[in-house]
Amino acid sequence: MTAPIVQASALARHYIVKGGLLSKPATVKALSGVDFDLQPGKTLAIVGESGCGKSTLARVVTMIEEPTSGNLTINGVDITPSKWAEMRETVQIVFQDPYGSLNPRQRIGQILKEPLIINRPDMSAADREARARELIELVGLRPEHYDRYPHMFSGGQRQRIAIARALMLNPRVLVLDEPVSALDVSIQSQILNLLVELQDRLNLAYLFISHDLSVVKHFADDVIVMYLGRAVEKAPKDQLFAAPRHPYSKALLSTTPRADPGARKERIKLEGELPSPMNIPKGCAFAQRCWLATEECRAAPPELSGGTHQVACLHPLD
Amino acid sequence: MSLLEIRNLTVEFATASGQFRAVDGVDLSVDKGELMAIVGESGSGKSVSMLALMGLLPWTATITADQLSFEGIDLTKISARERRKIIGKDIAMIFQEPMSSLNPCFTVGFQIKEALRIHLGLNRKDRHQRAIELFDQVGIPAPESRLKTFPHQMSGGMNQRVMIAMAIACTPKLLIADEPTTALDVTIQAQILDLLLRLRDEQGMGLVLITHDMGVVAETAERVQVQYAGQKVEEQPVADLFRTPRHPYTTALLNALPERATSKMLPTIPGVVPGQFDRPKGCLFSPRCQHANDICRSLPPTPHSAQFGKARCHHVEQITAGELA
C-alpha cells in the first residue's frame, strides 16, 4: 500500500453562533472527530444528508477553514494556517454549482490562467496560455472555447471548465463537492466518465462528497457515512452496499429510490428529522430516530470501531 | 371521460430573438385516482406544460391546444374569472422549492387559511379547525402551534408538507406535483412520496408527478411519459418502460444511470438538448441518436401506436425487431 496523501485524525470544526441580545452564544458542532486516510488514485466518498457536515469537511480539507481541533496531514506535511498558501496547490476543489462558481465576466482562458497568475508569478504569459489550452483539451473542450464567456456554455461544459481550473496547478487531491448533482442524467454520466479517466491518467485522489448513493456506488472505492458531524460507518464500497451495519446507513440505502419497478423492497421509514446541530443529543445522535435504540445509546456516543468495516453503533446490524 | 385531457398542447415564448417553442404538441390524459409521471431533463418542457394548464405563464407565452379540458370543461374557452374558481380548488399544484414558494412575510397558518377563505368561504373558526386538521393529515407534529410559525423557522421537509397541506386544502380532484422532492434529502423524500400516495388513495385524486429522477418514477408511478426538448417521445406503463424502452432516447437515458452500469465507464448520450437556435429539422433527438439516418434528419417522426409505446421515432419497429443494434 502506498503512503496516504491525505490523513485526517479527529478533525473537528465548531462554529460559534451569536444568539440574540440576551441569549448566550451557541456552538454548532458541524464536524466532530472524523478520521480518514486517502490514497493516491483512490476515491473516498462522504455521504450523508444536508447538515451532516460533509461540506464542512470539504472546506477543512481544502484549507478554506481551519479545524477547531484535530490533525490534517497532506503529503506528509502537518497542516497549519502558515502552510496553507504553499499546500493549496496540492488540494483543489470543484464546487457543486457550475453556474455560480465561474466568474461571468471572465473569459474561459482568463479563468483557467488565474490560479497560475497567483501561484506561479514567475511563469511566462505564453507558458500560462499553453497550459490553459492543454487543460481545455484534456477535459474534452474545443480550442476555440478559450476565448468564450461562461454563459455560452451548458451546465456540463461549465463543470468541465471548473474541473480544468482545479487541475491547473497539478494537484494530487481533488475535493469534489457534489460535482454532478446539478446536472441532468445524460450529462452526469459524461462528467463521471471524465473524472474516472482523469483519475487513471493523473493518479489523482478524490474526496467525493455526495448525497446520491447510486453515484457513490458506481464511483467510490471507500465510503464514509456521516450523521450530524460524525462518521457513523466507514467501509469499502462493496461491503457497505452489500451489508450496511449502522441502522442509519441501512435506512439511507433502503430509502434511495431505485430505477427498477419490479424490485419492491422493504423501505425503512425514518420518523422525524435531523436534530439541530446546536443541540446534539448527549448519546448517539441517531438514537431518537433509531428503531434499535436503548437506554445505553442515549447515554454516551458510540465510537467508530471494527477492522476494515467500521461502525459507530452499540447494536450494529449483521 | 378522463379527468384531464390535453391534446396537442403547444407553448411558444416571444423572446428578443424570435419565437421559442418550449412545448411542442404534447398530449396528456389523467384519470381519477391515477398517478401519471412526466420525466425529462431540464428544458424538456415538462414544467411549462403544467404551468400552461394552470394559467401561470407570463404574457409572453402563447398557448395553443386542440383540447385542454378538465372534467369536460374546456379551459381555453372559459373566462379568467371562471378559471380562477377551478385553479387552486379543483386543480392544485406543488412546486419544487418549498422555501421560495411560501411567502416569508406571513405565518404558514395565514397562508393556508387564505386558500380556505377564498375558495371555500369558511368562517374564522372553521378555517382554524380545518387548517389544524390539514397539518395533522400531512404529518406535521403539534399542528396548532406550527400554524403560528414563519417559513424560515421550519426545515425544507416541513415547508414542503405545508405546501402539500395548502394544495390539498380544498380537496382537489387533480394534484400536480412539480419535482416535489428534488430539494429534499432521501429519507425526507421517502416520507413525502408516501404522503402523496396516501392522499391520492384517501381522496381518489389524480396525480401528475413531474420529475427527472428515474428512481422516483420507478417506485411511485403507474404510467410514465417521457419528454424531450418539448415533445412527448414515449408513453408506457412503468414496468414496460423500464423493461422495454421503445424510444432510443429513453433507452440511452436508462443506460446512463450509474446504478445500471456494468463497467466503470458509463454509456453516455453525446451532445446536449437542442436550444432555440440549433433545433434540428427532423427528429429532435437525431443529432444525439446512434440510429439516426437521413430520414431522421429531414422528417419529423409522428408518434407510433401504443404497442410501440407511442414512440416518436422512425425506427422503432426495426429497433424492436432487433434489426438495428
Tens of pLDDT, residues A248-296: 999 999 988 888 887 766 788 887 777 777 778 888 989 988 999 899 8
> Quick one: pLDDT at residue B43?
81
For A49, name the nearest residue in chain B, comparing CA atoms only: B185
By C-alpha distance, which of B223, B116, B214, B128 is closest to B170? B116
For B211, name the nearest residue in chain A, comparing CA atoms only: A184
- What residue spans of B30-70 are helical by DSSP H? 46-54
Nearest residue, CB atoms, A252 vs list B187, B194, B215 = B187
Please state, rounded to an integer, the average pLDDT across all residues of chain B: 90
- Integer Cα distance of B47 and B95 in angstroms: 10
- Integer Cα distance of A174 and A169 in angstroms: 11
Q: How confident is the model over B190-239, as pLDDT tens digits?
A: 888 998 999 899 989 999 999 988 999 998 999 999 999 999 999 999 99
The gap between the terminal CA atoms of chain A, to the nearest Å, is: 29
Residues written for chain A = 318
pLDDT at B1 over 80: no
Which residues on chain A place their C-beta less than 8 Å from a C-beta of chain B?
Answer: 49-50, 154-156, 184-190, 192-193, 196, 211, 213-215, 217-219, 251-252, 255-262, 267, 269-270, 273-274
- Integer Cα distance of A67 and B235 in angstroms: 52
Please give the interface size between A and B, counted as residue pairs whose CB atoms are below 8 Å apart. 109
Q: Residue range A231-247: average pLDDT?
A: 94
> Quick one: pLDDT at residue B182?
82
Q: Name the grid cell of A245.
A: 451495519
pLDDT at A92 over 70: yes
How far off is chain A from B266, nearest CA to CA, in Å? 6
- Integer Cα distance of B235 and B245 in angstroms: 9
Q: How confident is the model over A124-136, as pLDDT tens digits?
A: 999 999 999 999 9
Q: Do A217 and B272 touch (CB under 8 A)?
A: no
Query: Any idea which residue has 381522496 for its cell?
Result: B203
> Quick one: pLDDT at residue B104?
93
Chain A residues whose CB is inside 8 A of the B238 CB are 261
Side chain identity at residue A40, one-letter code: P
Q: Do A257 and B215 touch (CB under 8 A)?
A: yes
- Integer Cα distance of A166 and A162 in angstroms: 6
Q: How confident is the model over B137-169, as pLDDT tens digits?
A: 888 888 999 999 999 888 888 898 999 999 999
Chain A residues whose CB is inside 8 A of the B252 CB are 186
Q: Do A255 and B260 touch (CB under 8 A)?
A: no
Q: How confident is the model over A166-192, as pLDDT tens digits?
A: 999 999 999 999 898 888 888 889 999
- What residue spans of B169-264 are helical by DSSP H? 186-203, 214-220, 238-243, 248-255
By C-alpha distance, which of B206, B122, B208, B213 is closest to B169? B122
Chain B residues whose CB is inside 8 A of the A258 CB are 215, 218-219, 259
State phi, psi for A89 to the nearest 5 degrees: -65, -25
Given a contact cutoff of 8 angstroms between Cβ atoms, the answer to whether A279 and A51 are in contact is no
Query: At A1, is the pLDDT very low, low, confident or very high (cuts 50, 70, 90)?
Result: low
- Integer Cα distance of A93 and A167 in angstroms: 9
What is the SS3 assignment for chain A? CCCCCEEEEEEEEEEEECCCCCCCCEEEEEEEEEEEEECCCCEEEEECCCCCCHHHHHHHHCCCCCCCEEEEEECCEECCHHHHHHHCCCEEEECCCCCCCCCCCCCHHHHHHHHHHHHCCCCCHHHHHHHHHHHHHHCCCCHHHHHCCHHHCCHHHHHHHHHHHHHCCCCCEEEEECCCCCCCHHHHHHHHHHHHHHHHHHCCEEEEEECCHHHHHHHCCEEEEEECCEEEEEEEHHHHHHCCCCHHHHHHHHHCCCCCCCCCCCCCCCCCCCCCCCCCCCCCCCHHHCCCCCHHHHHCCCCCECCCCEECCCCCCC
Interface confidence (ipTM) of the complex: 0.82
pLDDT at B2 over 90: no
> Quick one: pLDDT at residue A264?
64
> Quick one: pLDDT at residue B325?
57
Domains in chain B (CATH in brackets) are: 1-29+41-81+215-325 (3.40.50.300)
Side chain identity at residue A211, one-letter code: H
* Percentage of chain A lying above the pLDDT 90 cut: 55
- Integer Cα distance of B82 and A21 in angstroms: 52
Q: Are strands B4-15 and B67-70 parallel, antiparallel or unpaired?
A: antiparallel
Q: Do B41 and A186 touch (CB under 8 A)?
A: yes
Q: Do B272 and A154 touch (CB under 8 A)?
A: yes
Q: Residue range A141-159: average pLDDT?
A: 90
pLDDT at A225 over 90: yes
Nearest residue, CB atoms, B253 vs list A186, A214, A261 = A186
pLDDT at B84 over 70: yes
By C-alpha distance, which of B94, B98, B53 is closest to B177? B94
Q: Name the grid cell of B170.
A: 380544498
Give the three-state DSSP class for B324.
Answer: coil
Helix (H) or strand (E) segment spanning residue B237: strand B231-237
Query: At A148, is the pLDDT very low, low, confident or very high (cuts 50, 70, 90)?
Result: very high
> Quick one: pLDDT at residue B61?
92
Q: Best residue in B96, B259, B265 to probe A by mutation, most A CBs within 10 Å?
A: B259
Q: Do A211 and B260 touch (CB under 8 A)?
A: no
Chain A residues whose CB is inside 8 A of the B185 CB are 49-50, 211
Q: How confident is the model over B178-195, as pLDDT tens digits?
A: 988 887 888 888 888 998
- Integer Cα distance of A12 and A24 in angstroms: 22
Q: Name the grid cell of B24.
A: 411542442
- Give the C-alpha distances (Å, rounded to integers) separating B250 from B41, B192, B261, B305, B313: 11, 26, 15, 17, 11
By C-alpha distance, which of A97, A55, A92, A47 is closest to A220? A47
Query: At B273, is the pLDDT very low, low, confident or very high (cuts 50, 70, 90)?
Result: confident
For A271, name the nearest residue in chain B, comparing CA atoms only: B191
pLDDT at B128 over 80: yes
DSSP B116: I
Q: How confident is the model over A29-81, as pLDDT tens digits?
A: 889 889 999 999 999 999 988 888 888 999 999 999 999 999 999 998 999 88
Please count the other Cβ atoms lying within 10 Å of the Cβ belonging to residue A86. Answer: 10
How far off is chain B from A300, nearest CA to CA, in Å? 25
